[in-house]
Every structure is written in structure tokens, then in C-alpha cells.
Amino acid sequence: MAAKTALRIIIVGAGPVGLALATGLAKDGHSVTVLERQSSLQVTGGPIYVQPPAFDTDRQTVQKVGYEGAVAAGATVLFGKTVTSLENETTPTVRTEDGGEYSADLIVGADGIKSKIRRLLFPDQNMDAIPTNEVIFHSDVALDELRADTRLTGMFEHPGSCHFTFGPGRVNVLLIEPVAEGKTAAYNVVSNYGAPPTDRNASWYNSAEPSELRELFNDFSARDRAYLEHVKSCNVWRIGTAPETPSWRSSNGRVLLIGDAAHAMVPHAAQGVSQGIESTGVLTHLLRLARPDHLDDVPALTEGFEKLRRARVEKIANLSQNNLQVRVLPDGPAQEGRDAALRKMGQMPAIEWDKIEMDMSADSNSPQFTKWLTAYDIPLEVERFVKSDLVDIPSS
């Protein structure tokens, strides 16, 4: 479906969310320019999941497909464009380090957890990303090599599954599927790795020593240790969250935050990228309601976007944080109760999902909550929201 009016839209950030948004908006006929500070597509990082699951693959593939899709749809993607200033009193405008100036009807900050647009939107508040004491080690090993290890026999019979091992302060997650070049991957979570760096510009994704990883998990199961013996290289990722913002939008509604720039969360619900991409679909649908020659519709539509999305995203962010706390419990009664509950879940009969009603207030392990989490229907939710009169959405 084409938009009723073609807007000039600038997206800052060419990550998975920025490129997905560029693709959707350009397909709808908007004039879309993406500004990316890096000199080329960045492909570092581990597997990426988009729920319910829609797909899971490696970041390199997501970036490549996203870029090709955006360009094919008609978006312009410019690299080496570091935003230095933002003006949004009248026509939203960003300036870049190389002297460029870019104006638009709408500017969207999709520039991640360390968002420059977020800091420029709220210059009088501390809008730096918030690093935690938690880190995740990421490694990958050739599947053929692992299958040849008799200590791991039986672990690879169900492609697409994950093996979780919970321990005090730590979690090992082994993905039973190829994620790239015939390799499988593992995440090793350490909930209290030590104080984070104080330098705002310090990298949160760095190479690490496999020997350190093996030492940190030397009391885990024989199978976990067997996998780690095969690890020849690994990276360590400092986990952080986005600061709470008074709004996801500027006071005039013409600058908007999306994805991790608005709501970066810890990764323990596998929903960070999913929620960002969900948001791109919602925003694309809402902007279709802008009437021809009515740029004044944009503020109402961005207000509607935040009202529709914020409660859902914040609920999922809290779920993700709670998941971590449950998974890293110390040995004791609470841990024993968790393990008993997990065993009980594995014995439950098959669920007839078509008979389940969504409920975001239900217990997070219930079918009602799971369906709310994984069966979100973007067109339907936007239609319901527009009819709800919760915001003054323009009518055609």
C-alpha cells in the first residue's frame, strides 16, 4: 500500500532496524535517506533472532539483506556521515562532521543504544547508554567438528533448538543450528563480570581469550566444558540499556527515536531486534495516514506511534530483565523451585493456540502472555489503535 503523501525522511543509523525502516518507507513512496557514521556496513556480532520466530541468522546476513532491500526500494544510504548537530524548531535538520546538511519532514534516530540523536534531543539530560556489570561471551565452532566429539553425542538431533545450562551468576546457551558458514554458536552469560568502562566511546564488543571463557565455566556440565574446548576465538559483549527518556519524540513531533535508540534492553527475551523491527512496521503503517499536503499530520502520527508502542516495549524489557534474574539464581530453594517449574513446563500437553486469548497482564509463562508476545499483528493493532481515539490521528 502506497502512502497518501510522500514525505522526506532521514533515518540516522544503518543497523537492522534503520535498514528495515528504510525499506518499508521507501516501498511506500517516501523519499528516504539513511545516514550511517561508519564507512561501510558493520557486520560484527552474533546470531540475530526476530520473533515469533520470523527468522534467525547471523548479523552479517541481516545487514546485507537489509541494505540491498533498502537500496532496491529506492532509499539512499550514505556512509561516513557522523551527525554532529540537530535542529528541529522548524524544518528538522541534521548536520554531519563532513559539513553536510540534511533536512526532512521527519528525522528518525535508529542509531542504536549509544544514540547521538537521543543525546541531541535531550541536551540538558544525561542520555548516555547505561552499561551493566553483565557481559556475554560469543563463540562459534564448526558443526562437523562438534558432531565428531562423542562427548556431545545426541545434542544435535533437533536443529533449531537451544541447550540452556543455568548456574549461579552464569548461563550457557548452545544453539543447535548453523548460523553462518556451517558453524553453530554459543552465548555464555556472566551476570557480574565487573564494573563497566567509564569512557562513553569505549567499545562494548571486543575480542576475548577462550582460556578466560573456559575458566569462568569450569564448574559447568561435562558437555558445556566439551563445547568450550573447541572454541578457538571468542568475543565479549558488554550488556547495557537505554536511559529512560521523557519521550521518544521531539516537542514538535518531527524527530523520533526507534529501536535501541529508544528502548535498548538486555537480551534475555531475544526481543531487542524483534521489537525494533515491529516498530518499523507500526511507523510505516501509521505514516500511510498522513494526508496529501498535510505535513502537520506528522506530529500526531509520531505521538500515536509512541502511545501504541511504549507500553508493549517496556513490558518486554522488564520481562527480559526478570528472565536473567531467574536464570542466574544461586543454589537454594528459589533455584530448586525454578527447576521444578521448568520440568513441569516440559510435561504440559500441546496448546491449541487458536483458542488462546492474548493477555499482556497474564503470567509471563502462560499461553495467554506468550501469544501476546509472539503473535502481534501490526496491521490489526494499528487499525484498533486508530479507532480507539487515544490520539488525534488524522482522518482522510
pLDDT tens column, 302-344: 999 999 999 999 999 999 999 999 999 999 999 999 999 988 8
Which are the contacts of 173, defined by CB distance < 8 A and separation ≥ 6? 162, 163, 164, 165, 186, 187, 188, 189
Strand pairing report for 130-142 and 183-190: antiparallel
Which are the contacts of 326, defined by CB distance < 8 A and separation ≥ 6? 338
Q: CATH number of the domain that 50 lies in?
A: 3.50.50.60
Domain housing 348: 328-376
Which are the contacts of 219, defined by CB distance < 8 A and separation ≥ 6? 167
What is the predicted pLDDT for the residue at 183?
78
Q: Does any domain span residue 389?
A: no
The predicted-structure confidence for 102-111, as pLDDT tens digits, reads as follows: 999 999 999 9
When pLDDT is averaged across residues 228-246 and rounded to a whole number, the result is 95
Q: Both 211 and 282 in a single domain?
A: no
Confidence band for 370, pLDDT divided at 50, 70 and 90: very high
Q: Does any domain span residue 246?
A: yes
Look over the chain and give the mean of its residue pLDDT values, rounded to a whole number: 91
Number of domains in the chain: 3
In degrees rounded to 5, what are phi and psi of residue 9?
-130, 130
Q: Both 224 and 263 in a single domain?
A: no
The predicted-structure confidence for 44-88, as pLDDT tens digits, reads as follows: 666 676 766 566 677 788 889 999 999 999 999 999 999 999 998
pLDDT at residue 1 tops 90: no
Q: Does any domain span residue 42?
A: yes
What is the predicted pLDDT for the residue at 56?
65
Confidence band for 179, pLDDT divided at 50, 70 and 90: low
Q: CATH number of the domain that 180 lies in?
A: 3.30.9.60
pTM across the whole model: 0.92
What's the N-to-C CA distance of the chain in angstroms?
Answer: 15
Which of 196, 216, 241 is the C-terminal boundary of a domain? Answer: 241
Q: Both 237 and 247 in a single domain?
A: no
Assigned C-alpha cell, 298: 506528522
Q: Does any domain span residue 88?
A: yes
What is the predicted pLDDT for the residue at 295?
86
Q: Both 218 and 263 in a single domain?
A: no
Q: Both 222 and 285 in a single domain?
A: no
CA atoms lying within 13 Å on the CB side of residue 362: 14
How many other β-carbons are positioned within 10 Å of the β-carbon of residue 88? 18
Q: Does any domain span residue 395?
A: no
Q: Does any domain span residue 382?
A: no
Which of 241, 262, 289 is the C-terminal boundary of a domain? Answer: 241
Which of 319, 350, 367 is the C-terminal boundary of a domain? Answer: 319
What is the predicted pLDDT for the residue at 390?
73
Q: Does any domain span residue 388?
A: no
Q: Both 64 and 76 in a single domain?
A: yes
pLDDT at residue 280 tops 60: yes
Q: Both 85 and 191 in a single domain?
A: no
Q: Sign of the CA dihedral 326, 330, 331, 332?
A: negative
Q: Both 110 and 247 in a single domain?
A: yes
